[in-house]
Amino acid sequence: MANAVMEWKHYFEDYNEGLGLVYERFVLNDFLDGLRREFGIRKVLEAPLFGMAGVSGINSVVLAQNGCDVTLADDNPERIAGVKRVWDELSLPVRIVHVDDWARLPFPDDTFDLAWEWAGLWYLPDPEGLLRELARVSRKVVFVAMPNRIQIGYWMRKWVLDRDFFPTVDEKWTKIGLLRKILESEGIEIVRHGVIDVPPWPDTVMPAKDVLRKLGIKSKKLEGKFSGEGWKWSSMDYYLGKDKSLKERVLKYAWLDRARLPWWIKALWGHHRYLVGVKPGRNEA
């Protein structure tokens, strides 16, 4: 897994993730909190915890902050230790479990109100097995999201900016129709689908200064705009209360996400596609 997401060790030492990652996380935070309120979610499983780049294991922080019982799953003991340290720093309770086989999660049926994953399927040896397990262990809601392969940034990354990355993943698992078919075969009723994470910049999954370098644009002035102390973006600073205005500053770019446009128009630029499914007859308690 030699790819940008797996540079997790660096982000346990430096929480500066970049504007794009912080934007992605805040938009996801609002989406997750919306699911919590809509479906009365109190018990959560995120598996795997490493789909997003940046600081590993903090996508579910917003749910814990709102009183949810959060469980995270990972297959790397060293990363688990790092995630535990981060949650200790946040003073939030969390359960982190080591998973040897993603097709055999160590939980009984119907354990969680929400079982979800973000952009992690294409790293796994058995993505289908995990999808079936998410359906099994959820008693209310399953939420899955993957990179949107029809948006412009995806193809920029694939053919120009990060060509070495794609041989390390299985792109088949970006096909949202395939994910839907598997979940529906497990009795999950898809109640919502669309795009999320639609900022005004393309999805390059790398710092802006590196994009300029990859494109052969040599400008110290431009590079200076995207580096240095004035270019610090840290989700952790916001969660820790060190930068309380960060979310407001970042989400001023969310006008495309919030626009009342059909999802298929947003899909030309949106970075991720998603499915929300429920179990018929789910326990509403």
Asked whether the predicted pLDDT for residue 225 surpasses 70, the reply is no
Reply yes or no: is the peptide bond before residue 48 cis, omega within 30 of 0: yes
pLDDT grade for 216, boundaries at 50, 70 and 90:
low
Q: What is the pLDDT of residues 121-174, one digit of tens each?
A: 999 999 999 999 999 999 999 999 999 999 988 888 888 878 888 898 999 999
pTM attached to this predicted model = 0.90
DSSP string, 147-210: E-TTSHHHHHIIIII-TTTGGGS-GGGG-HHHHHHHHHHTTPEEEEEEEE---SS----S-HHH
CATH class of the domain whose range is 8-201+233-278 = alpha beta
pLDDT grade for 2, boundaries at 50, 70 and 90:
very low
CA 188 to chain centre: 21
8 Å CB contact between 199 and 251: no
Half-sphere CA count of 266, side-chain side, radius 13 A? 22
Going from N- to C-terminal start, the domains of the chain cover 8-201+233-278
Residue in this structure with the two tokens 């598996």, named with its chain if needed: 47
Interior CA angle at 171 toward 210 and 217, to 5°? Answer: 20
pLDDT grade for 204, boundaries at 50, 70 and 90:
low
Mean pLDDT along residues 72-92: 97
8 Å CB contact between 137 and 71: no
Gap between the Cα atoms of 213 and 210, Å rounded: 5
Q: What is the reported pLDDT for 212?
A: 43
